[in-house]
Amino acid sequence: MDDFNTEKYIEQRLQQAMAFLEPLQPGFIDILTSPKKSTVVNFPIQMDDQSVQVFRGFRVLHSHVNGPGKGGIRYSPNLTYAEIAALAALMTWKCALINVPFSGAKGGVCCDTKSLSDNELRHITRRFISELGDDIGPHTDIPAPDLYTNERTMGWIYDTYDVMHPGRNNRPVVTGKAIDLGGSLGRQLATGQGCLYATLRFIERIKPVGISSLKDRTVAIQGYGNVGSSVARLFQQEGAKIVGISDSQGGIYAENGLDLDALDEYKSKNRTVVGLAETMSITNEDLLELECDILIPAATSHQVTSENADRVKASMVIEAGNAPVTPSANQVLSEKGIIVLPDILMNAGGVTVSYYEWVQNIENQQWSLAEVNQKLNNKMIKATDAVIDKWLSLNENLPLRQEDDNAPQAVDLHTAALVVALNRLLSTIEERGIWP
């Protein structure tokens, strides 16, 4: 069995980074290991058939070291507090690495969106937000979309909060809203766009295992939600061939590349990618083990584990989802010479454009798409460079990778990314000082 569980995951990743942190005052790191504030609520909802069902929701503010909390709200049947707390910590690291003035938070409600009507989902969202009360707010903790939530959910969140706090500009209380409600141009595709910008920068500087551009590279993507579908489009526009895609129902494969227009039409009618004409049906497990250049897990955590890592055939794994590769799997991949681009960098485009949305809402502005993407590209390049520079300096005596050089690096990119993020957070803590 793999050694993964979310709490342990955070602990393991911190352990790996610890050895490389700047000298610390005793106790400082502990400030970043336990969540600052956690809220658990149970609330009843009258369902469409008039029965009453109780739902459980969580919001965890991991830290406020670097500004208000920021992070998604997800809807999923098997959510646990431990998982939400771990994902909130990841958000703190992500915000520090990409350098936006937020700290980490995460929330969610245990529910299966596939079995709920729109009406029920609206009731769940409104009641959840009212239960959170002032735990969220434009300058305290700002939610956003995550798994199985979208701009419509964010609209309900905004409206509920606005009704509860009339007479002021409440738009910055939540990001990922529809454009009409103050959403930012570019937010919908932002995570995929940021992933593409960081990948291109990485390829430009490192040329991993001989990859010098995305042109004609074969790509398999696990997950076809907001992140997976935007990554598929954007990588295809750069010339990559998307050969495999999966969702929670299973996967599809087409050796010569998938027709994404046909796929989107099919998915909107059938709510799954499985069964698209002229494709071969595969399982989610098969997808991770496909013969391809680049594997992009863009769904849930804990997908590439010590059990299947050995069968991954891609040369590069891009973590577009949160924590899809376990630390022990990362080690197996690294020993095989497979480079893993870390989640806190590769999916930071979403929270970056969320920050731009928040700024636009505070200023009552609407930036153009070109302006948003230009700013996003600059941020992604800066953060990617910081990770690469740290990675190279931690591996100082090791030469840059050349074509066909499969030698593993001693320190992986996850560790380098986390060292950059933690050093920033720890110096902020030091500068702020401990109160009182």
Binding site for ligand GLU (CB under 6 A): 70-72, 144, 146, 175, 322, 347, 350-351, 354
Range 301-309 contact pairs with CB under 8 angstroms and sequence separation of 24 or more? 301/6, 301/9, 301/83, 301/87, 302/2, 302/4, 302/9, 302/326, 303/222, 304/329, 304/333, 305/2, 305/4, 305/329, 306/2, 306/3, 306/332, 307/1, 307/2, 309/333
Q: Closer CB to ligand GLU, residue 144 or residue 426?
A: 144
Please name the residue that has the structure tokens 């291109």: 200
Name the packing angle between helices 226-237 and 260-270 (round to 10°): 160
Minimum CB separation of residue 300 from ligand GLU in Å reads 12
Q: Closer CB to ligand GLU, residue 71 or residue 192?
A: 71
Strands 316-318 and 339-341: parallel
Annotated active-site residue in 36, 70, 94, 106: 106
Q: Closer CB to ligand GLU, residue 190 or residue 388?
A: 190
Q: What would the two tokens of residue 151 be?
A: 């701009």
Minimum CB separation of residue 175 from ligand GLU in Å reads 5
How many other CB atoms are there within 10 angstroms of residue 238's CB atom?
14
Active site residue 106: yes
Minimum CB separation of residue 151 from ligand GLU in Å reads 12
Minimum CB separation of residue 368 from ligand GLU in Å reads 20
Name the percent of the chain in helix, strand, coil, to the closest 5.
45, 15, 40
Minimum CB separation of residue 161 from ligand GLU in Å reads 15
Q: Which residue is nearest to ligand GLU (CB)?
A: 72
Q: Closer CB to ligand GLU, residue 92 or residue 218?
A: 92
Q: Closer CB to ligand GLU, residue 248 or residue 331?
A: 248
Question: Which positions are annotated as active-site residues?
Answer: 106
